[in-house]
Structure 1
């Protein structure tokens, strides 16, 4: 089932197109991950789908309606987004920040209702941040802050949650903590999760559906088995990857890779490839 899709989407800044004639379907109640090199349009696509920025042409359809014509508060009850660099929460407690997720439901002077407080406590509980409710957000670790921001998104009570690189600046343990939380929300509450990730192995491990972008266009869209392949990674990242199997999940994983050098980045050339790890020394 597909509730959300784009049709012929063009997004740009001034005269430069970042996303070009892009048509993509987001599977409902699944985890979709968007991968691709820096500057390929991943974040731009998320911002356009969630109406943070406007698109030049094409449409974004949710539940049969063009989102550009949707009431703002009504749209905010259907989808939430956690940007790559959330706005500063300086001076706010955790509970105060999470309460902002109730904005779409507030009327009049915006006072919180009993229902609002119940949802806030539920979001804190689900994300394991209830003990931080009265602590300043600034006093938390990176992983704790990220879970609090996710709690705020949950407080919106949306079926669809977008996250732009939710593991950025987190260490390995906190990255896994955040991704396992998102997987739990998907599996236990059937939330549709759409996120941008840089780590290919994390994408393969946690996503049901992967969209690989390059230069604002889709190179491949499908299951992790269809996307995490040597051919697709060569086209998207200009690398010669060795693909194996994760011994714990049996999903594909990138074991190592070399950078392909030459004029035509889609094909191997007579120039020798070199190991990225070795090049760092």
Structure 2
């Protein structure tokens, strides 16, 4: 009988412990439970965009989006060593959020109406523009100067096609598999200009091996409002990220990140956008 009483008591204690553990695991999934709960947070970024989201050979990460994501995660309660960066390619961003693969995504994620039907957006945190990257001694100063010149972009991108159709119909389009190939072609003289978002171009041009060789034309051919993607309907996390972005601008960390990641390419960034202020 004594043995049975001890076993019953132990079972009761075990049940209470399991109940407490279950409650704790629910709390650890909250966006602000990092410091108090000791958990981790998964954040989606690009792995292949220098100056924005790049996985370095040593396994570390660098870039403006990485700096923004790290700042935001800290405001949500997660120190840098509690962040797990997950590669999220452009075509899979909405699915990654919906599946719960990541808590939020900061990956040159332009806000538009179609995407807003699938995800919540915090921000914008950067206003970028489609632009041209040319050699520092290039005589290309306006879009029409591309007539008769070789213009490079990535296969499947609409950027170069838009330039050819709307600005320079006699431009010779060259398509490569990635922007790194376009930049190498520009360096060698195989093409005369590369086009995509100015932030992406500035990031590539800021690499040590390219410093001083290229410049942005500053044409502002489109407006790209970069936002942070959050699960559709998760207004609590969206509001917290917006508060974090506002603080990042006000305390100077936003401008420091811009200067550190884009400065070597003489990137003339727009002022930090206000939350919810979408430039069409």
Interval containing the TM-score (normalised by the shorter chain):
under 0.3
TM-score (norm 2): 0.27
Whose helix proportion is higher, 1 or 2?
A: 2
Whose strand proportion is higher, 1 or 2?
A: 1
Larger relative contact order (CA 8 Å, sep ≥ 6): 2
Larger Rg over CA atoms: 2
TM-score (norm 1): 0.27
